[in-house]
Amino acid sequence: MRAKAAFWIFLAPVLAWLLLLIVLPHIDLLVMSFRSRNPGGDPGWTLVNYQRFFIEPIYWRTFVRTAIYSTITTVITFFLAMPVAFYIAKAAAVRLRGFLLILLLLPFWVSELVRVYGWMILLRESGVVNYFLIRFGLLTQPVEMLYRDATMIMGLVYSSMLFMVVPLVSVVESLDDALIEAAYDLGAGKWTIWWRIIIPHCKPGITSGSIVVFMLSLGNYMTPNLLGGKNSLWFTEQIYNQFIASFNWNQGAAFGFLLLLLSSAIIWAGLRLSGQKLGQVAS
Write the CATH number for 110: 1.10.3720.10
Residue type, 54: F
Q: How high is the pLDDT of residue 41?
A: 53
Whether this model's pTM surpasses 0.85: yes
Report d(CA 50, CA 252) in Å as an integer: 10
CB 160 within 8 A of CB 152: no
pLDDT at 94: 83
In a domain, residue 37? The reply is: no
For residue range 203-252, list pLDDT tens digits in order.
889 998 999 999 999 999 989 988 887 767 899 999 999 998 888 889 99
Q: Residue 40's pLDDT band (boundaries 50, 70, 90)?
A: low
Segment 50-78 shows an average pLDDT of 93
| CA pair distance 235, 220, nearest whole angstrom | 9
CB of 193 closer than 8 Å to CB of 181:
no
Q: How many domains does the chain have?
A: 1
For residue 63, the number of C-alpha atoms closer than 13 Å in the C-beta half-sphere is 17
**Domain membership flag for residue 26:** no
Q: Report yes or no on 150 lying in a domain.
A: yes
Q: How many Å apart are CA 155 and CA 223, to the nearest integer?
A: 6
Residue 137: CB atoms within 10 Å: 7
- Tell me if 98 is assigned to some domain: yes
pLDDT of residue 67: 93
| Mean pLDDT within 107-113 | 85
Predicted confidence (pLDDT) per residue in 257-273, tens digit: 999 898 888 888 888 87
**Average pLDDT over every residue of 179-193:** 86
Give yes or no for residue 50 having a pLDDT over 60: yes
Residue 148 has a pLDDT of: 86
Within a domain: 263:
yes
Any domain includes 277: yes
Q: Is residue 3 part of a domain?
A: no
Percent of all residues in the chain with a pLDDT value above 70, rounded to a whole number: 95
Burial class (CB in 10 A: 0-12, 13-18, 19+), 209: buried
> By residue range, what is the domain housing residue 108?
49-282
177 assigned to some structural domain: yes
* CA distances for 209 relative to 29, 109, 135, 168, 186, angstroms: 29, 20, 40, 7, 32
What local confidence, expressed as pLDDT, does residue 36 receive? 79
